[in-house]
Structure 1
Amino acid sequence: MDTTRQNKVSRLLQKDLGEIFQLESRNLFGGKLISVTTVRISPDLGLAKVYLSIFPTDKSEDTLKAIKMNTKNLRRILGNRVGKQLRIVPELAFFVDDSLDYIENIDNLLS
């Protein structure tokens, strides 16, 4: 059960992280298309689980490793953006969101 504050903070983080990935993906990740699908934040607002959709999907694990290596840098950039709205910038944990691949697989099986 997420509170209203958790929902607001997760939407804020999703929007700002999406913009960061849009601006920085060319420099940091070789121009891969990375979109933030979901952000789930803990009740104490200390940890944010960020689910990413990465295209092309064949290199998603390598891209996820690169993102995890740059987590500190991404958190710093995020802190500069949301520093006035949040007292504590949450720790970021990144995961691959493979729900689109799952849906595509089901569609292929049905047709």
Structure 2
Amino acid sequence: MSQSLYVVDGHSHIFRAYHAVGYLSTSKGVPSHAVLILSTMLWKLIREEQPDYLGIALDPPGPTFRDTMFADYKATRTAMPDDLARQLPYVRRLFDALRTPVLEVSGYEADDTLATL
């Protein structure tokens, strides 16, 4: 019997979740909308597709090979919104709670890592 492996581009999903709904926060004022929607997205994937294995590919901190090749790579991109950056530790805790391995390859964005699999 064949088994299925799903590896998700984590940052793509995190940004989709962040922009999917308006601002939500905990009772203590901590932004939580990206974490909430991301967890919903992942549970839907798990429930509907029932993968045998699930992994998350993330963009590692620091420059990538494209940054060294093209000085203007993503030069016009705005910085990550502060309220999203504040949610990233909770996103990591979500991945831990789901026991989902996280794949980060230094120098490569998540989509490049996924393309090599």
TM-score by length of 1: 0.28
Higher relative contact order (CA 8 A, sep 6+): 2
**Which of the two has greater helix per residue?**
1
**Which of the two has greater strand per residue?**
1
